[in-house]
Amino acid sequence: MNKIRVKNVVKEKTREDIIKSAIKVIAKYGRDAASILEITKVAKVANGTFYYHFKNKEELLDTIGERILIEIVDSYEIDWSSAKDNPAILFAHATKVNLIKCSEDPLLLKVIIDSFHIRGKVPVILRGYNKSLIAHIEFGLSKKIYDTKINDNLLANMQSINRNALIMISQGKNTNKTIQQAIQAKLRILGISSKEARDIASKA
């Protein structure tokens, strides 16, 4: 291995150490309270090293958000044709997969929950979630399955359902039951009847 390649490997490892340390610090203190000083302390690197890899804390947070999106939201490839006559079934399955993936890593789970409480700029995680959510809802509307309108209030209600479900899972509540309740609540907001929402959720 030549010197340039070794140097690049070291750089990548250092960058990865900073990202992993940031996730630990955010999970412990929250996004707002997580300081660069604490992150570099956990990563065992100098402040200058941090700024070599990231312009500021916001860039680091966006990097973490993008990684979570890749691991969770984007990891589920949507097969729109599998929905057949009822997009609600596809939406229910996607909700289940995403909530399960969110809950698999305790540290990432805390970071995701924390992202729902951010004021001002919408975190990368939620921007990605909203994009996926809108695609699902638009598909259902095109099939005349849903009775709703896409607006900020709808997205906020969906985010609230996700946040509450993840909090309950983090507290040790029954994961399957919590996910089924979340799916039912989302489908009801989209205009699906209580009976049908319950039936779809139980089979997701």
pTM metric for this prediction: 0.81
Dist CA 95 CA 127 (whole Å) = 16
Count of CB atoms situated within 10 Å of the CB of 68? 24
Q: Which residues of the chain have pLDDT under 70?
A: 1-9, 73-85, 117-122
Count of CB atoms situated within 10 Å of the CB of 177? 10
Tokens coding 10? 């070291």
User: Which CATH code fits 3-54?
Assistant: 1.10.10.60
Dist CA 118 CA 113 (whole Å) = 10
Dist CA 90 CA 74 (whole Å) = 15
Contacts of 184 (CB under 8 A, 6+ apart): 194, 197, 198, 201
Tell me the chain's radius of gyration from C-alpha atoms.
19
pLDDT of residue 10: 75
pLDDT of residue 167: 94
Domain extents for the chain? 3-54, 69-203
pLDDT of residue 160: 92
